[in-house]
Structure 1
Amino acid sequence: MTARLRLLVLLSRPPVALLLALYTAVGLGRTGHGQDPALLAGSLVAILGFLLFSVACNDLADVAVDRVNLPGAAGRPLVTGSAASRDMVVVAVTSGAVALGASLALDPWAGAVIAAGLAVSAGYSLRPVRLADRGAVAALVLPACYVAVPYLVGVLAARPSVRPGDLMLLAGLYIGFIGRILLKDFRDVRGDALFGKRTFLVRHGRRATCLFSACCWVAGTAVLIAAARPGLAYAVTTGLCLAGALWLLRALATGPGHRREEALISAIAIVGRGMVLLLLAHLSMLQAHWTVLAESAALAALLVVTAGQAATMAVSGPVTRLTVPFSEAKAGAGSSARRPA
């Protein structure tokens, strides 16, 4: 049981799960129900199921590429041998069913969003559709899954309709996420090129990728500031986050070496999560009728924390703490080797 729970934690990709949870909370906050624990819990069950389904499908489809890009990575159980293909199929089917059931319990339209998200996510990873191999299409589709699905589930959990202002906020989140998801390809570029995945980075190179990412960051931030009914404090703190992200992208464009590259991309991810957290805090404080001074102080504190974490990451780089014990991985590899193909 412990090994299975550990597998689920690994597949949930905790940083990704946190980001999707923030998008869900932003959707609820947009409707004025950000403080409703029952709606938040039900929405998060659906979104976690959706995430596990998506990751299991992707790991099944990309196991050969992952063996090149991420040899021995604890977060890839098929690569380490700590899980077999049939385990991943069980996870995908079970988590997809849980996601669909939990979303339908919230609202039929939320169930429709999850159903569409599951279909798109499967098409992204699995053949014969396999959108992941289609360059720019992949960069547009994956953010639609990871941003639109949790955000819309949050909105529809609280009310049965989506309004124009909701869509404008979604557009800002979506455009900004495109700029971030492009950077994931730096880690995978060797295997992607080897297996013919025509990612933006493979096709256009480092500088063009960083420039396009910067354009998405700027455009997404501008739409967010316009859509979020901001006061000066939100606009300033979000603008400072944008400036930090652009500075990190400029450093990344110079080709700093693999270890430094990994640190910069991780720092950019922290800034991105910080911007979503600033938006969530802003929406929550609007709902609670905080004073301008109190909101300014709270947003400034969040900005300082985000900047400190990003600076530490940029200097030191990421450290993997969640691992599969060697004995379990070895045993899993041995048992999977004995199983028929």
Structure 2
Amino acid sequence: MFFELISPALPRPRATAWTGTLRDCLLEARPVVQIIFFVRLLAGLALAGPHLAAIAPATLLAGTVSWGCAMIFVYLYNGAADIVEDRASGHDRPIARGDLPRRTALAWCRGFASAALVSGLYVGPAFALPVLTVLGLGYLYSAPGFGFKRHYLGAALVAALGGSLTFLAGFLLGGGELPDPGITLLATAMPAWMGGVGSVAKDFSDVRGDALAGRRTLVVIFGRRVAGVVVSVCALCVGISFTVVAWMWVPAMRLSAASLLVGAFCVTCFALRRSPASHPRNPYRAFMVSQYAATLSVLHG
């Protein structure tokens, strides 16, 4: 797949189908996930607030475009690599349902990755390094021969690093100077939330497809009950730790920490609930709402 990704012989979308193909690429990249990455970037910018006035609007725009293109690459490439399991799990995304050909998606992946690097270099080397790193992580997560997605530890690691790099990229884009207690706490607690909670909870509804594709997710290996306990413990540990540290040492993060703590209890309730009426996607939905609330709280502050 790597050679397919970089080969200049890949077909380009026809001009008449350009907008439709772009729409399908954006839908495949999961808009709700793209929005949370954008919010994380804004949270990093907010923590660099005192320095923002010195940053040119063109630089801020280039950085936002760069990170957005990098995230679209990551999820679009993942969709191109996950056709078997997505179809088995019943996902209604463009590649799985056949609206977006895999080779066309890979061609657009190349374009998004190039745009991310070029605009990232415009911002500067310090910003371009996280961009290049997250592109590499996205490739390693999905590519045959690497496929970190196939094991729950690899998936958790990539999820955590991707979140941490997004907060850091926003902070650097805003001219922030390291070390900073706010960005340090946020870039530690939220990635732990993503890696320990979200990376497992998202698999509750995909057991059939993941097993068919040979993935070694926590739910496939140990079952829904054990995975639910793991998600609950991780959620409570992250929520409580974040809150204690914020209340004692980083007051600017208190509202964010409180939001995540409430979310941790919601995730725990859904993850441990065994009622037949409980949708397997509920723990992940609670995770998503919680991270939105915690991250948006940083902007409010």
With over 3 angstroms needed to count, the CA separation of the structure-2 counterparts of 1:116 and 1:236, relative to structure 1, is closer
> For the residues of structure 2 that align with 1:223 and 1:37, how far apart are their CA atoms?
37
- Give TM-score, length-normalised by structure 1: 0.73
| Cα deviation 1:151-208 (Å, max 9, x = unaligned) | 1211221337531523332111111112122111012111111222001121222233
Among 100, 115, 121, the alignment partner of 2:138 is 121
Structure 2 matches for 1:98-177, cutoff 5 A?
A: 98-145=115-162, 147-159=163-175, 162-163=178-179, 165=181, 166-177=183-194
* Gaps in structure 1 of 5+ consecutive residues: 283-341
**Which residue does the alignment assign to 1:89?**
106
Aligned to 1:183: 201
2:88 is matched by which residue type in structure 1?
Answer: V
Is 2:293 the partner of 1:274?
yes
Q: 2:70 & 2:259 partners in 1: Cα distance?
A: 33
CA distance 1:81–1:114, change in 2 (3 Å): same
Say whether the 8 Å CA contact 2:66–2:120 is kept in structure 1. Answer: yes
Distance verdict in 2 for CA 1:132–1:13, change over 3 Å: same
Q: Does 1:77 align with 2:94?
A: yes
- Closer, same or farther in 2 for the Cα pair 1:56/1:265, shift >3 Å? closer
Q: Deviations over 1:226-255 (max 9, x none)?
A: 358226xx6367435523442342233223
Question: Contact 1:25–1:280 (CA<8 Å) still a contact in 2?
Answer: yes
SS of residue matched to 2:96: helix
- Are 2:63 and 2:173, in contact at CA under 8 Å, matched by a contact in 1? yes
RMSD of aligned C-alpha atoms? Answer: 2.5
CA contact (8 A) 1:107 1:156 kept: no
Q: Which residue of 2 aligns with 1:246?
A: 265
1:14 aligns with 2:31: yes
CA contact (8 A) 1:124 1:142 kept: no
Aligned partner of 1:247: which letter? C
Among 202, 209, 232, the alignment partner of 1:214 is 232
- Which segment drifts farther, 125-134 or 209-218? 209-218
Distance in 2 (alpha carbons) for counterparts of 1:40 and 1:200: 39
What residue is the counterpart of 2:10 in the other structure?
A: none
Tell me which amino acid in the other structure corresponds to 1:199: T
Paired residue for 1:67?
Answer: 87
62-71 or 16-25, which deviates more: 62-71
Tell me, yes or no, if structure 1 residue 199 matches structure 2 residue 220.
Answer: no
Alignment match of 1:54 (pick from 36, 58, 74): 74
CA contact (8 A) 1:46 1:99 kept: yes
CA contact (8 A) 2:156 2:194 kept: no
> Which of the numbers 238, 250, 265 marks the counterpart of 1:229?
250
1:257 to partner: Cα distance: 3.7
Cα shift at 1:222: 4.4
Q: Distance in 2 between matches of 1:160 and 1:101?
A: 22
Partners of 2:231 and 2:62 in 1: CA distance:
33
Instruction: Classify 1:100/1:240 alpha carbon distance in 2 versus 1 (closer, same or farther; 3 Å).
Output: closer
Indicate conservation of the 8 Å contact 1:53/1:96, yes or no: yes
Does structure 2 conserve the Cα–Cα contact (< 8 Å) formed by 1:168 and 1:223?
Answer: no
The answer to whether structure 1 residue 29 and structure 2 residue 46 are counterparts is yes
TM-score when scaled to structure 2? 0.82
Does the CA-based 8 Å contact 1:133-1:198 persist in structure 2?
yes
How far off its partner does 1:67 sit? 1.2
Aligned pair count?
A: 276
Where in structure 2 are there 5+ consecutive unaligned residues?
1-17
1:37–1:259 distance in 2 versus 1, CA, 3 Å:
farther
